[in-house]
Structure 1
Amino acid sequence: MKTIQIINVRWFNATAWYGLYLARLLREAGHETLVITEPDTEADAKAKEWGFTPLHFDLNSSNPFKLVRAYVQLYKLIKQFTPDIVNCHRGEGFILWGLLRKSLGSFKLVRTRGDQRLPKNNLPNRWLHTNVADAVVATNSVMANHFISKLHVPEHKLSTILGGVDTEKFVFNHIGRTAFREKLGYDESHFVVSMLGRFDEVKGQKELIEAVGKLYNEKGMKQLRLMLLGFETATSQDEVESWITANNIGEITCITGKVPDVTAAISAMDLGVVASKWSETIARAAFEIMACKRPLISTGVGVMPDFMDEEAMFEAGNVEALADKLERAANDNTYLQRIFDLQQKEIAKLSGQHFLEKTLSLYSNL
């Protein structure tokens, strides 16, 4: 099968990861795959790192002359490459592909929606998703329900595909765990709570820091250690460090920055935390933590309820609720084992191979 994956995303965020990882899986399975990215972006660099030669068009432009030029260029590309499937992972430029789909009729058009923003219920969106796209993929059930109830996308056109994780790369590493913990000054008497992700208000680092501070300083849980496995983006490291200082947990907290062996760092956790206040439409970090056989607690935003047990979730933005879950996980081994066992059953169905098979099934049906 021949596909084009449109990944015109500036950052290497969850949407870009979803599209590029899918492209890589398709290529490794023997399907001829082109990727289109925005030039000189993180997503473009990652595509090159993974062995692709990405193509560039002015899909994100608002200049009508550039869009007309892009349409002509894409028309030529379709004629030369003759794809079976074109899969758009972002909305910018989607209308060009819709017009090409109507004009040429030689390929099937798929729109994958992994963005946190729900699509607006307006005439152009309804036309594109119900009349032009041959299929719509939602990366979580909230998005899927929105497409059906608000945009009236027929159920037979809609698929929910959560993505998947590379289970050959993300595996528990005992040697790496020990070495990473030793490097940070942690031993096995410590209970290491960790968040994997960029520094941003949406991710909930502030709430996690406050919850750990409450347990450590007010409840005397001196075995706690906090590892922030991430780096500054929208929120600066200086600001994060100010929260750590304000909550008096500087001596038990480590900010790792980017690490060369992320599986060793994940393996060093005793408990992973997803404290996101919104977003999480694609659960890349959660999948990686679960694949490395680390138990996880999370808020109930985005895709999380699609695979997380209610007992492992807490209210977004609620520091008291987060602290309660942390305290229980650190002190109740039966609880920790129970949520771990349930999560391992779920992650067994969320491998990269499952991701590929579900997508190929959709493509083949089209």
Structure 2
Amino acid sequence: MSRVLHQKGVKVLVGGRVSSPPIQSAIKHQLTTFNINLESFRPWQWIKNLKILKRVIYQNQINLINAHRPEDHFYSGLLKRQFPIIPLIRSVSDVRPPKDNLINKVLHLKHTDHFIFSCEANRDRYLQVWPLPMEKTSVIYSGIDTQHFNSNNKSTNITKYNIPSDSIIFGIVARLSPVKDHISFLKAAARLSSNISKAFFIISGEEVEIKTEQLQQLSRQLGIYDKTLFLDKFNDVRDVIELLDVGVVCSSGSEAVSRITAEFLSMSKPVIVTRVNVLPEMITDGYDGFIVPPFSPEGLSMKMHELAVNSQLLFKMKENARKTAEIRFSYERFYQDTLSIYKNVITNMIKNSGPSIR
């Protein structure tokens, strides 16, 4: 988000540990950063962090604070007494509900001016804990660079892997962890392969909690080893997405944000997703993909079969997938939605402030 705002001419400062991946990424993209360790809750570190934040606010004439993690939110809330006219916005992209305690209650209900959630499922989880006024909440889906994620030439790329040219290729691109449910994908693939000889399958991702060898062994047991390509994580994910006809995201949990779903769509790949967190909110069932229950190889294979036997439906869904990405998940949409909330929150803060603050 910071990079998009910066590209549009909005002054942005990004704070965090200088060695952390987010700050390193910010530096790489030439964003203004400042070093602060918000992950420590030691009393002496509190004082140091508050001094740093105050200095940054004064020196840069900050108009708004957008906290993205609980630690950021906590420190920003502590500053509200000294800077009452600087709005505090909390962006939430975590599947965990907030902790129900007194400090959090005060922070959420009294010191936070607006909440931006990554999906409706996140907002619903929060509302079950804190009765936030709906007008103080918004949902903004994460954006991607739809120009960067654009389709190239599938036929040229699949020859590198000796995949038959007439194949219809289904793929899952995710770290090898149980929550991504590669097992259901392989079981669905086996069901489909027994009826559709041209079906081919790709699994790409780095080993985290599951070894590639374990999934390879399962594919042998299911009789689809020769029709399944196992690839490591790609430095450029477009290289593996381009090989596919259809993307699959069959997670059983997580997915408060799903970049890969947006990337699939942007590269004109219909997506079959499970009904988990943000996933069903990103897909219009039957238009740019399908929605199935989690842990359902049967349901997944049925939808894979629909696309495998109906070339017209597959072609139309590919067109629709790209349209969805451009309309709903582009950087431009992300920027416009975010800036609109920022402006509204600042305007309301000024409107509701007393004469002395104005």
Deviations 1:222-266 (A, max 9, x none): 212111232223433343333334433322222222334432421
Query: What residue is the counterpart of 2:130 in the other structure?
Result: 151
How many angstroms apart in 2 are the aligned matches of 1:253 and 1:61?
Answer: 46
The Cα of 1:149 is off from its aligned counterpart by: 4.5
How many angstroms apart in 1 are the aligned matches of 2:333 and 2:134?
Answer: 22
1:235 to 210, 216, 220: 210
Query: What residue is the counterpart of 1:97 in the other structure?
Result: 76
Query: What residue is the counterpart of 2:52 in the other structure?
Result: 73
The Cα of 1:339 is off from its aligned counterpart by: 4.4
What amino acid is the match of 2:58? Answer: K
Using structure 1 for the length normalisation, give the TM-score: 0.86
Query: What residue is the counterpart of 2:149 in the other structure?
Result: 170
How many angstroms apart in 2 are the aligned matches of 1:181 and 1:62?
Answer: 51
Distance 1:88 1:293, change over 3 A: same
How many angstroms apart in 2 are the aligned matches of 1:120 and 1:238?
Answer: 39
What amino acid is the match of 1:357? Answer: Q
Query: What residue is the counterpart of 1:10 in the other structure?
Result: none
Query: What residue is the counterpart of 1:126 in the other structure?
Result: 105
How many angstroms apart in 2 are the aligned matches of 1:64 and 1:238?
Answer: 48
How many angstroms apart in 2 are the aligned matches of 1:269 and 1:37?
Answer: 37
The CA RMSD over aligned residues, in Å, is 2.1
The Cα of 1:346 is off from its aligned counterpart by: 2.9
Query: What residue is the counterpart of 2:201 in the other structure?
Result: 226
1:165, 1:352 within 8 Å by CA — same for their partners in 2? yes
1:186 to 159, 163, 170: 163
Query: What residue is the counterpart of 1:26 in the other structure?
Result: 5
2:190, 2:223 within 8 Å by CA — same for their partners in 1? yes
How many angstroms apart in 2 are the aligned matches of 1:92 and 1:246?
Answer: 47
**Structure 1: segments with no counterpart, 5+ residues:** 1-21
Deviations 1:135-176 (A, max 9, x none): 1001111122333443111111111101212111011112xx
1:191, 1:270 within 8 Å by CA — same for their partners in 2? yes
What amino acid is the match of 1:283? Answer: S
Which secondary structure state, in structure 2, belongs to the residue aligned with residue 137 of structure 1? Answer: strand
**Structure 2: segments with no counterpart, 5+ residues:** 346-358
How many angstroms apart in 2 are the aligned matches of 1:122 and 1:298?
Answer: 35
Distance 1:71 1:235, change over 3 A: farther
Query: What residue is the counterpart of 1:319 in the other structure?
Result: 297
Which secondary structure state, in structure 2, belongs to the residue aligned with residue 259 of structure 1? Answer: coil
What amino acid is the match of 2:238? Answer: T
How many angstroms apart in 1 are the aligned matches of 2:88 and 2:248?
Answer: 37
1:172, 1:264 within 8 Å by CA — same for their partners in 2? no
Distance 1:53 1:205, change over 3 A: farther
1:209 aligns with 2:180: no
Query: What residue is the counterpart of 1:200 in the other structure?
Result: 177
1:244 to 194, 219, 222: 219
Using structure 2 for the length normalisation, give the TM-score: 0.88
More off after superposition, 255-264 vs 322-331: 255-264
How many angstroms apart in 1 are the aligned matches of 2:188 and 2:299?
Answer: 9
Distance 1:246 1:80, change over 3 A: farther
More off after superposition, 177-186 vs 242-251: 242-251
The Cα of 1:344 is off from its aligned counterpart by: 4.1
Query: What residue is the counterpart of 1:266 in the other structure?
Result: 241
What amino acid is the match of 1:182? Answer: T
How many angstroms apart in 1 are the aligned matches of 2:26 and 2:219?
Answer: 36
How many angstroms apart in 1 are the aligned matches of 2:147 and 2:134?
Answer: 34
1:173, 1:264 within 8 Å by CA — same for their partners in 2? no
What amino acid is the match of 1:242? Answer: Q
1:309, 1:342 within 8 Å by CA — same for their partners in 2? no
1:331 aligns with 2:306: no
What amino acid is the match of 1:332? Answer: N
What amino acid is the match of 1:205? Answer: H
1:85, 1:109 within 8 Å by CA — same for their partners in 2? yes
1:180, 1:265 within 8 Å by CA — same for their partners in 2? no
More off after superposition, 199-208 vs 107-116: 199-208
How many angstroms apart in 2 are the aligned matches of 1:48 and 1:251?
Answer: 44
How many angstroms apart in 1 are the aligned matches of 2:110 and 2:266?
Answer: 38
Deviations 1:264-312 (A, max 9, x none): 4212211100111112111211111101111111101111222312341
Larger Rg: 2
1:116 aligns with 2:95: yes
How many angstroms apart in 1 are the aligned matches of 2:204 and 2:168?
Answer: 15
Distance 1:78 1:53, change over 3 A: closer
How many angstroms apart in 2 are the aligned matches of 1:330 and 1:127?
Answer: 54
Which secondary structure state, in structure 2, belongs to the residue aligned with residue 298 of structure 1? Answer: strand
Distance 1:179 1:131, change over 3 A: same
